Structure 1
Amino acid sequence: MLEKHTSAWSRTVALLDTAGARKIADEATRIAQRRPAKTIWNDHAALMVSVIELPTPRTATVSWCDPLSGYYGHQTWRVALAKQRGECVLSGKSIKPGDFIYRPATCQPPPGNAGAMIIASELVPCVTPSQS
């Protein structure tokens, strides 16, 4: 009887092939890299975005929670120039190419919110001529 269970266990362990697991992980990475960069975030009713801090003038720490694109509790976003039209995930304001924005820092594989943008004016207080 013990031999029967040992044989079944051995077959189960053999099915847990590391090469097969690596193949699945590689395919998941390829799929993530093909993910479209532009997403209409205002369609995500459950999206919650908040800025935690501005550790440097060029970075922001953002908390992102969305059941479709994932949860990133302390995600680093960096200043960049917008390359395409979009919408600020904080204010809903339109973003056009060339606008200063914050976006998630690049990494591999890209995060689920890789195409999200926050217009920089939402995070940096505007200085009026009378204040300078």
Structure 2
Amino acid sequence: MLDSLPNRPSEANEKLSLMTRPLVRNVQGKTACIGSTDGHCVNIRVLERLSESTLSLSWHDPTSFNYSEQVWALCTARKRGTCALSGQAIRRGQPVYRPRRVGSSVPLNSGAMILALALTPAEQEASLVSE
């Protein structure tokens, strides 16, 4: 099954665009726990798909910082990690979304990644609700 996952961001975009509407609004948010052993949880809510390769989301970390509207861009994972939304393992080379830099400022959650395919079920659910 893992071999069938796309290896490049463009492949993920093609697959995602076939499965979702071009613009999805009011996608239901999910709460994701990072480092669940210490109870550290962040609330992540997908707000809007801005383009085929960018989306807007809110990231609320009750222990340190909040981004009410942050732009994330599709790219290729440069290292292994964990999806901030689903908790799934991320392999190097998989298509992921990462926070976009604004000017010279680096977001505090710059190391976070969200698997591109982790967003698909929520977007499908939202499109069913809006019909």
2:34 to 31, 35, 42: 42
Secondary structure at 2:117's aligned position in 1?
Answer: helix
Scaled by the length of structure 1, the TM-score of the pair is: 0.59
Map residues 56-71 of structure 1 onto 2, 5 A cutoff. 56-71=51-66
Pairwise CA RMSD of aligned residues? 1.7
In structure 2, C-alpha distance between the alignment counterparts of 1:69 and 1:80, rounded to whole Å: 26
Shift of 1:46: 3.0
Map residues 73-84 of structure 1 onto 2, 5 A cutoff. 73-84=68-79
Kept in 1, the 8 Å contact 2:34–2:41? The answer is no
Identity rate, percent: 38
- The equivalent of 2:25 in structure 1 is none
In structure 2, C-alpha distance between the alignment counterparts of 1:95 and 1:80, rounded to whole Å: 13
- The equivalent of 1:7 in structure 2 is none
- The equivalent of 2:96 in structure 1 is 101
Shift of 1:53: 1.2
- The equivalent of 2:81 in structure 1 is 86
Deviations 1:65-119 (A, max 9, x none): 0134511011000000000100111100110110000000023221110010000
Scaled by the length of structure 2, the TM-score of the pair is: 0.59
In structure 1, C-alpha distance between the alignment counterparts of 2:46 and 2:79, rounded to whole Å: 23
- The equivalent of 2:113 in structure 1 is 117
In structure 1, C-alpha distance between the alignment counterparts of 2:94 and 2:46, rounded to whole Å: 19
Secondary structure at 2:34's aligned position in 1?
Answer: helix
Shift of 1:42: 1.2
- The equivalent of 1:8 in structure 2 is none
In structure 1, C-alpha distance between the alignment counterparts of 2:52 and 2:119, rounded to whole Å: 10
Letter in structure 2 aligned against 1:110 = V
The structure whose Rg is larger is 1
In structure 1, C-alpha distance between the alignment counterparts of 2:111 and 2:62, rounded to whole Å: 16
In structure 1, C-alpha distance between the alignment counterparts of 2:99 and 2:53, rounded to whole Å: 12
Higher-helix-fraction structure: 1
Structure 2 unpaired stretches of 5+: 1-32, 122-131
